[in-house]
Amino acid sequence: MDFLHISQSFRQTFAVRASEWALSLMLLNWSIVLFASPELFVDRPSYAPLASIMKQETWATICFVAGAGRLIVLLINGSWRRTPHLRASGAFIACFFWFQITLGFAQAETWATGMAIYPVLLALDAYNVIRAITDAAITDNHFKRAVSDGPDNP
Amino acid sequence: MDQITPEFLLTVLTGAIFGLAALGQYFRTKNQPSVQAMEKAGQYHDRLHAEQTLRALERVAVAVEKIAASADTIADRRQSDIQDTLHKIADHMKQS
């Protein structure tokens, strides 16, 4: 892995993966907010579905790992071999968060503005999963062909 | 996890269905080599543009025939002009 590759890869792929970068950053920001406001799950009923699964601190830690991990995967993309599999996994995990949050907001007596945002984020990350998994299949095909052709005929 | 709630079960079910859909997409793309996709695209392109290409070729052929006819006319004219000029020179030479 070298800085030149990362810089080049970032400039080449950012335009088409802007949504993945944004959603990863949102997940990371989520963990920061959860760490910064420890009583959030207690104060707001919208977070009840999340609270029923895990404690707020656990959610914050998982959000941090998932968000930061996804950002790192996007950053080092292709240093050793193109890895859209990890991009797909990251987006899939993020879908879980968006789905839970959407469920929480949907169950509230009065819908908050979150209902206008989180379902869209869920749909966007679902789209990212499909796109990344398609990339993964194409990459695997190229890799398989390169291996069967040998090093002289890439 | 404190307890398994209906929301959590709904999440797991939706995740499982979506995960299967994503895996389906993966294998569908993997079993469709890019060469086949390119061939299909090529065939579609050929079918789509075959008639237009034929018409264009016909127009080009007609234009070439016209150019050939024009070239013949120009050549004839020049030939007759040269012959006239030669006759004039010959007449002038005879007179002189």
Q: What pTM did the predictor assign?
A: 0.67
pLDDT class for A139, splitting at 50, 70, 90?
Answer: confident
- CB–CB contact B26 A49 (8 Å): no
Residue B17 to residue B11: CA distance in whole angstroms: 10
Residue A76 to residue A142: CA distance in whole angstroms: 20
- Considering only CB atoms, B22 lies closest to which of A88, A100, A141, namely A88
Which of A22-31, A85-94, A103-112, B17-26 is least confident?
A: A103-112
Encoded amino acid at B65, one letter: E
**Is the pLDDT confidence value at A12 over 90?**
no
**Is the pLDDT confidence value at A145 over 80?**
no
Q: Tell me what pLDDT residue B42 has.
A: 60
- Given CA atoms A8, A12, A13, A15 in this order, what sign does their dihedral have? positive
Residue A38 to residue B86: CA distance in whole angstroms: 111
Measured in residues, chain A has a length of 154
- CB–CB contact B1 A54 (8 Å): yes
Q: Tell me what pLDDT residue B62 has.
A: 82
Could you tell me how many CB contacts below 8 A there are between chain A and chain B?
Answer: 58
Q: What is the mean pLDDT of the segment spanning A58-69?
A: 93
Q: State pLDDT tens for residues A69-90.
A: 999 888 887 666 667 889 999 9
Q: State pLDDT tens for residues B33-83.
A: 665 555 555 666 666 677 778 888 888 888 888 888 888 888 877 788 888
Percent of chain A residues past pLDDT 70, beyond the cut: 92
Q: Tell me what pLDDT residue A130 has.
A: 94
pLDDT class for A131, splitting at 50, 70, 90?
Answer: very high
Q: Which residue has the higher pLDDT, A24 or B30?
A: A24
In this predicted complex, what is the ipTM? 0.73
Measure B2 CA to nearest chain A CA, in Å: 6
Q: Tell me what pLDDT residue B94 has.
A: 75
Given the structure tokens 């007759």, which residue do they identify? B80
SS3 at position A39: coil
Residue A80 to residue A36: CA distance in whole angstroms: 36
pLDDT class for B95, splitting at 50, 70, 90?
Answer: confident
- CB–CB contact A138 B34 (8 Å): yes
Q: Tell me what pLDDT residue A154 has.
A: 46
**Long-range contact set of residues B82-89: C-beta below 8 Å, sequence gap at least 24:** none
